Amino acid sequence: MNPYSKPLPAPDADSAPYWDGCKQHRLLIQRCEACASFRFPAGPVCPNCNSREARWMPASGRGTVFSWIVVRHPVPAEVYGAEVPYTVALIDLEEGVRMASNVIGCEPEALHAGMRVSVHFDDVTPEISLPRFRPRE
Ligand SMILES: [Zn+2]
């Protein structure tokens, strides 16, 4: 039985390379082959130029906190009750994309806009590793 009882991502045709990268502790994001813009989340078409050509590129894993919330009331309580308080944040990666994740390794009160963070991977099951972020110098 899997001891991890929280919801897990369900990789699909567009996102499977992303989750495969996470499993290898590599943060991969798509870059459009036509206009060179990065995009996240993964998708079949570039939102900037509508090209269908894209390549998976390793991201730096570095970013800054754009905004965040602190979850203090767990929903559902039986799943997240032991986790609170925890932080859900929007992280602006150096590549110019924004992703939602958790900031770990610091008290929620210590977070601030522009805080420098770097990616960390949690191997929550044998198949899934979740990217989370920690403060960095
Ligand atoms: Zn494009």
User: What pLDDT is recorded for position 2?
Assistant: 56
Domain contains 7: no
Please say if the pLDDT value at position 71 is more than 90.
yes
Q: Could you tell me the distance, in angstroms and rounded to a whole number, from the CA of residue 39 to the centre of ligand 1?
A: 9
Q: Report the pLDDT averaged over residues 31-54.
A: 97
Q: Could you tell me the distance, in angstroms and rounded to a whole number, from the CA of residue 30 to the centre of ligand 1?
A: 10
Q: Could you tell me the distance, in angstroms and rounded to a whole number, from the CA of residue 50 to the centre of ligand 1?
A: 6
Question: With bands split at pLDDT 50, 70 and 90, how would you rate the model's confidence at 101?
Answer: very high
| DSSP tally for the chain: helices H, then strands E | 2, 8
Q: Mind giving me the DSSP string for 22-71?
A: HHTT--EEEEETTT--EESS--SS-TTT----EEEEE---EEEEEEEEEE
Domain contains 9: no
Please say if the pLDDT value at position 90 is more than 80.
yes
Domain contains 88: yes
pTM as predicted:
0.92
Number of domains observed in the structure of the chain:
1
User: What pLDDT is recorded for position 15?
Assistant: 96
**Domain span at 43:** 16-135
